[in-house]
Amino acid sequence: EATGKAGYDHFMLKEIHEQPRALRQCLQGRVDELAGEVTLDIDPDISRVQFVACGTSYHAALYGAALFRAAGVPAQAFLAHEYAIQTPPIEDDLVVAVSQSGETADTLAAIREADRRGADTLALTNVVGSTMARECTDALFIRSGPEIGVAASKTFSAQLTAVNLLALATVGAGDEDVRELIGALRDLPANIQTVLDSSDARSVARDYVDSESFFFIGRGYHHPVALEGALKLKEISYTHAEGFAAGELKHGTLALVTPDTPVFAVVTGDDEAARKTIGNVKEVEARGAPVIAVTDGESDVERYADAVLEVPSTHARTAAVLANVQLQLVAYHIANELGRSIDKPRNLAKSVTVE
């Protein structure tokens, strides 16, 4: 097993470090920079999209739905177990199952119901021979290589990358500049390497490891990142954490914010979304909560932060991937400080094959 970990203490840390390679594989042969085109070997008809997924993959689904909406295509993400019992109307919808394993029973039930109602289905998965890949009309493989750690890391980054490719290849990018997006995707592996080489996540983890509760906030593409940051921390450190759309914190949970609840705030760029999230950061700072900003330094969020985790400047869509890598490292180092069973957390399974 030690050989399999290639010198890392845990599979999860190895897999976090494999992300530049995993994403190169995901992009390989699918992106033509000169032509400014993304080409996949699938070509589904798309007028509306319903994403179904569970756990970490649901966060990728939320992000994916936002990409399609940005291109003017109605799109929504559903928790697969909710979808299966209360399936929304399907017109000409494409139903996309996001699942690392391709075997999650809840997600399988959802696509079987979608199929029964006449939808085209697409499996976005890491496992070529999986049940979902076989049963769906089409499959788009994320090509991360095997993931051993129960808590998803490199597969999530590859799901975010693959869903960008899917949107660009099928519906484009709305008002966004496609060439700029393709460039941002091309730069993603190297930018992740920069994060891995320079991250201060370990010292942040040591400073806050004794906290009993953590919050994560982000807006737009950073909302799924906030959710995923909290889920990762819960899964492997057994510490309470919650992720929110930044604007939602004040609608209730702010009551729990104290000097003992560190808040991770994902803020990149210097646009209206960033400014509004900084407004939310000020609200938590005023309650004495330590703020850890995950930022590219474009805005002045650092003024309100007790610690900073830097990411290279890039498009908001790819910044979300980079910010998530910082939060993966924070979760890993907190769990490691606490001596947790990182690769096999209690009560959890890599793939849940019962509904």
Binding residues among 25-84 for ligand G6P as defined by CB under 6 A: 54-57
Residue 111 binds to ligand G6P (criterion: CB under 6 A): no
Residue 352 binds to ligand G6P (criterion: CB under 6 A): yes
Contacts of 317 (CB under 8 A, 6+ apart): 67, 164, 181, 184, 221
- By CB under 6 A, the count of residues binding ligand G6P is 17
Minimum gap (Å) between residue 234 Cβ and ligand G6P: 11
The owner of tokens 């982000």 is 218
Residue 22 binds to ligand G6P (criterion: CB under 6 A): no
Let me know: does 174 contact 70? Beta carbons within 8 Å. yes
Q: Which among 30-38, 135-143, 144-152, 202-210 is the span making contact with ligand G6P, rule CB under 6 A?
A: 144-152
The distance between the two most distant Cα atoms of the chain, rounded to a whole number of Å, is 54
Minimum gap (Å) between residue 112 Cβ and ligand G6P: 14
Q: Which residue is nearest to ligand G6P (CB)?
A: 55
* Dihedral sign (CA 55, 58, 60, 66): negative
Nearest to ligand G6P of 104, 121 (CB atom)? 104
Nearest to ligand G6P of 106, 296 (CB atom)? 106
* CA distances in angstroms from 246 to 15, 19, 145, 276, 306, listed in the order given: 29, 27, 33, 8, 18
Which member of 95, 110, 151, 292 binds ligand G6P (CB under 6 A)?
A: 151
Q: Which among 6-14, 145-153, 179-187, 278-286 is the span making contact with ligand G6P, rule CB under 6 A?
A: 145-153
Q: Which among 40-48, 98-106, 178-186, 304-312 is the span making contact with ligand G6P, rule CB under 6 A?
A: 98-106
Minimum gap (Å) between residue 100 Cβ and ligand G6P: 3
Nearest to ligand G6P of 57, 295 (CB atom)? 57
- 341 dihedral zone (left: phi>0; alpha: psi -120 to 50; beta): beta
Of 235, 233, 231, 243, give the one whose Cα is nearest residue 209.
233
Catalytic-residue membership of 350 = yes
In angstroms, the CA 277 to CA 104 distance is 34
Residue 150 binds to ligand G6P (criterion: CB under 6 A): yes
Q: Which among 71-79, 149-157, 180-188, 236-244 is the span making contact with ligand G6P, rule CB under 6 A?
A: 149-157
Binding residues among 270-289 for ligand G6P as defined by CB under 6 A: none
Nearest to ligand G6P of 143, 315 (CB atom)? 143
Residue 161 binds to ligand G6P (criterion: CB under 6 A): no
The owner of tokens 């995950």 is 294
Residue 247 CA, distance from chain mean position: 19
Let me know: does 223 contact 216? Beta carbons within 8 Å. no
**Catalytic hit among 5, 276, 344, 350:** 350
Both tokens of residue 202?
């370990």
The owner of tokens 């996540």 is 201
Residue 104 binds to ligand G6P (criterion: CB under 6 A): yes
Nearest to ligand G6P of 296, 343 (CB atom)? 343
Residue 152 binds to ligand G6P (criterion: CB under 6 A): yes
Residue 101 binds to ligand G6P (criterion: CB under 6 A): yes
Residue 107 binds to ligand G6P (criterion: CB under 6 A): yes
Of 221, 214, 218, 257, give the one whose Cα is nearest residue 236.
214
Contacts of 154 (CB under 8 A, 6+ apart): 15, 16, 18, 19, 22, 144, 145, 147
Which member of 25, 87, 100, 131 binds ligand G6P (CB under 6 A)?
A: 100
Nearest to ligand G6P of 144, 277 (CB atom)? 144
Site of interaction with ligand G6P (CB under 6 A): 54-57, 99-101, 104, 107, 150-152, 348-352
Active site residues: 350
